[in-house]
Amino acid sequence: MIFTLLLALFQTAIPLPVHADDDVEAIAQGCAGCHGETGVPTDLKTVPIIWGQQRTYLVKQMHDYRAGDRENEVMSPIAQDFKPADARKIAAYFATKAWPEASGPKAAGAAVPPKGLDQCQACHGTSFEGGPSGPRLAGLSEAYLLAGMNAFASGNRTNNEDMPKFMRALTERERMAMARHISDVRPGKKAISAVSAPVPRQPAGSVAPGAFITE
């Protein structure tokens, strides 16, 4: 119902009341139409988990959708109504939520880790729990991860300088193995809490002019 309403509003160019300082909860309810009332997306194959995701990453993606650097038939029009201040508020709201618990038993991992994992861990963390320079990947669905990897490899997604060349260096089979492995990684609570700590503010003058992901 909420998702249908959101689409109808954007298709008819009716602005949503997203700029009220005390209305973050109301904005979040609109996001729940796809991303889930409890953090579990309505379609894990095509919609990412945003509860507990890295704040700076969420802000950057909303910026990229708004700027046209990343395209999605649902998110691109929605992001047009998010100014930088809105994006920071909604990103902070979801970043403080708990990542939803994985369901079902953990699958047996491959005897040999897939090729390229060490390059991923440099930004996404040793357990793919995310960090200041990369989003959390552990727990995202295999299908969603693979679609993203293939989009970078094919050039259909270009809002990151490093990912296209990393993904093009892998075969499709290697990307499949990587997506399968990462989707089933379950970071320990210690690793999750370490990257969930508030990010310190940058000293005045230390951020490049026009930077979007800083507060």
Domains of the chain by residue range: 2-95, 117-196
Displacement of CA 201 from its chain's centroid (Å):
21
Q: How confident is the model at residue 27 (pLDDT cuts 50, 70, 90)?
A: confident
174-179 average pLDDT score: 96
**Interatomic CA distance for residues 114 and 9, integer angstroms:** 44
% of residues, the chain, pLDDT over 90: 60
Q: Say if residue 82 is exposed, middle or buried (CB neighbours under 10 Å; 0-12, 13-18, 19+).
A: buried
Q: Taking residues 49-57, report their average pLDDT.
A: 96
Q: 132-160, pLDDT tens digit by residue?
A: 889 999 999 999 999 999 999 999 999 99
Q: Enter the tokens of residue 197.
A: 């700590």
Cβ atoms < 10 Å from Cβ of 208 = 6
Pick the CATH number of 2-95 from 3.40.50.720, 1.10.238.10, 1.10.760.10, 3.40.50.920: 1.10.760.10
- Quote the pLDDT of residue 101: 86
Is the dihedral angle over the CA atoms 62, 148, 197, 56 positive or is it negative? negative
Q: Which amino acid is present at 85?
A: A
Residue 57 scores a pLDDT above 60: yes
pLDDT, tens digit (0-9, with 9 covering 90-100), for 98-108: 999 876 556 55
Partners of 134 in beta bridges: 131
Are the folds of 2-95 and 117-196 the same?
yes
pTM of the predicted protein model: 0.78
Looking at CATH, the fold of the domain delimited by 117-196 is given as Cytochrome Bc1 Complex; Chain D, domain 2 (1.10.760)
103 DSSP 8-state letter: -
Pick the more confident residue, 215 or 158: 158
pLDDT bracket for residue 28 (50, 70, 90): confident
Asked whether 63 and 83 are in contact (CB, 8 A), the reply is no
R_g over Cα of the chain = 17
Which range is most confident: 12-16, 107-111, 136-140?
Answer: 136-140
pLDDT band, residue 4 (cuts 50/70/90): very low
From the number of C-beta atoms within 10 Å of its C-beta (0-12, 13-18, 19+), residue 95 rates as buried
Reported as a pLDDT band with limits 50, 70 and 90, residue 78 is very high
Report the C-alpha gap between 122 and 4 in whole angstroms: 39
CB 63 within 8 A of CB 84: yes
- pLDDT score recorded for residue 21: 47
Q: What is the mean pLDDT of the chain?
A: 80
Give the Cα separation of 31 and 110 in Å (integer): 36
Q: Quote the pLDDT of residue 89.
A: 93
Q: What pLDDT was estimated at residue 211? A: 36
User: Would the pLDDT of 2 be above 60?
Assistant: no
